[in-house]
Amino acid sequence: MAEFTPIETQEQFNEMIHDRIEQAKRSEAKKFEGYISPTDVEALNKQIADLTAAAENNAKKYADYDKTLAERDAQIKKYETASVKSRIAHDMGLPYGMADRLSGEDEETIKKDAEALKAILGTQPKKTTPLAGTEGTGKDDAYKSMLSKLKGE
């Protein structure tokens, strides 16, 4: 057995107890190295709650964005298709009103449909706009008619 030394003063006793307590604290601290303290756990739980709330707010805020983007993409595709149809109708010599009658999803199928429609309608000459000043107005026609009657023509 270990030899026992008598404690003579209260101060020696307190010092020995203090040493034993410090040794026990170090021993316990060594056991729990790598673990987080309860105060750190509270801070992390608060941070998790804050981030969860922020994520839920963002989810609500951006919930309709996918739907809105899909609607806009569909509208852009519709405009692009209408533009292609108008261009092809013009190139094929079809009337502008027939551009809406063309069908197809891409330029190739729209062009084939326009060729088929052109074959059905036949070729129509393109109408040209009159040149400025070559055609008279109603007032000029009246003067010409009066002049020709005076001349006796």
φ, ψ (nearest 5 deg) of residue 114: -65, -40
Measured between alpha carbons, how far is 84 from 105 in angstroms, rounded to an integer?
Answer: 10
pLDDT at 96: 81
The pLDDT confidence band at residue 139, using thresholds 50, 70 and 90, is confident
pLDDT at 127: 62
For residue 114, being part of any structural domain is answered with yes
Mean pLDDT of the chain: 84
How many domains is the chain partitioned into structurally?
1
For residue 102, being part of any structural domain is answered with yes
CA angle 107, 109, 110 (to 5 degrees): 65
For residue 128, being part of any structural domain is answered with no
Mean pLDDT of 34-39: 81
pLDDT at 118: 86
Mean pLDDT of 76-91: 91
* Cα dihedral value 33, 38, 43, 49, nearest 10: 110
**CB-based contacts of 136, cutoff 8 Å, min separation 6:** 144
> What three-state secondary structure class fits 9?
coil
User: Between these two residues, 52 and 130, which has the higher pLDDT value?
Assistant: 52
Mean pLDDT of 65-88: 92
pLDDT at 12: 86
Residue type for position 107: E
Query: Which residues span the domain enclosing 99?
Result: 72-121
pLDDT at 137: 62
The pLDDT confidence band at residue 56, using thresholds 50, 70 and 90, is very high
pLDDT at 124: 55
For residue 148, being part of any structural domain is answered with no
Q: What DSSP assignment string belongs to 114-149?
A: HHHHHHHH---PPP-PPPTTTS--HHHHHHHHHHHH
For residue 96, being part of any structural domain is answered with yes
